[in-house]
Chain A
């Protein structure tokens, strides 16, 4: 048995083989090494930091953190809520666009100061609202046909 193995057997405790004990007993360097390691071990144990009661303040972490299942349930609920909000907002936006794009004739006529009389057609309403529409009103069906089907 070598020096290191003999000292190791004595340091780690438990049953010590007779061979190791007798080696260390007769070996000055092993005895010195063993004494030095015991001294280091004792120093280490003396330096053990004490636990102060003030350190027991971390309990809220245990209580505040929801369990994994609860976290997943919260995440799912948040996702559903978000989806509902987005869906509701989209629907609201679409219906708003429809109202803007195609107001009822009565409302449109009543609201705009330049509204023509109720007998006027939609085309005349457009012409008065968007002057550019005049150009389209002058285009005849024949012109359109000739444009679309060149000879």
Chain B
């Protein structure tokens, strides 16, 4: 992303298809994955990811370049996710489908594939037990590899608070996975 984000956004707003396509190519997948982890519903994640991309372009003038464009986009996605969760707090949906395993996973055997699927299932269940803010920190840190400083900016928290959320999220996930395995 050598190009300045503001210039990139300006080109998108000007209607340059190549700029919009590049934005989608680089940003849509991670944002969708984050939202799917947060919402545990692939269809809603898809919708909100699109909404986040559109809002990024619409609010491009508000982007001052203090953070990276990626951080700014995750901030939009995070707010959308929290609004969605707070609007339907009792609606708990399981993952309908997971992104299929790709060759990138480096495990081609059927047994390994099944083992990875089982691991993913356990992680999804454990993630579902977390409060939204802890879930958000864990996904941004472990899957999207954001620094705690970036996570703090995305979530509007102090960096120390983001670190504490991460620590307690890991502890809660471990407890949830142990509880699922039984005594």
Which residues of A come within 8 Å of B, CB atoms? 7-8, 11-12, 36-37, 39-41, 43-52, 55-56, 58-59, 61-63, 65, 67-68
A67 touches B29 (CB 8 A): no
A67 touches B174 (CB 8 A): no
Question: Measured between alpha carbons, how far is A61 from B49 in the docked complex, in Å?
Answer: 10
Least distance between B65 CB and chain A CB atoms (Å): 21
Least distance between B171 CB and chain A CB atoms (Å): 7
B122 touches A55 (CB 8 A): no
Question: Measured between alpha carbons, how far is A43 from B32 in the docked complex, in Å?
Answer: 21
Q: Other CB < 8 Å A-B pairs besides A47-B124, A50-B101, 12 of them?
A: A8-B163, A8-B167, A12-B166, A43-B123, A44-B123, A44-B138, A48-B142, A49-B36, A49-B120, A52-B102, A56-B25, A61-B50
Question: Measured between alpha carbons, how far is A68 from B122 in the docked complex, in Å?
Answer: 43
Chain A at the B interface: SS class: helix
| One of B15-23, B67-75, B80-88 at the interface | B15-23
B94-138 interface (Cβ within 8 A of A): 98-102, 104-105, 116, 119-120, 122-124, 138
- Counting contact residues on chain B (CB < 8 A from A), the size range is 35 or more
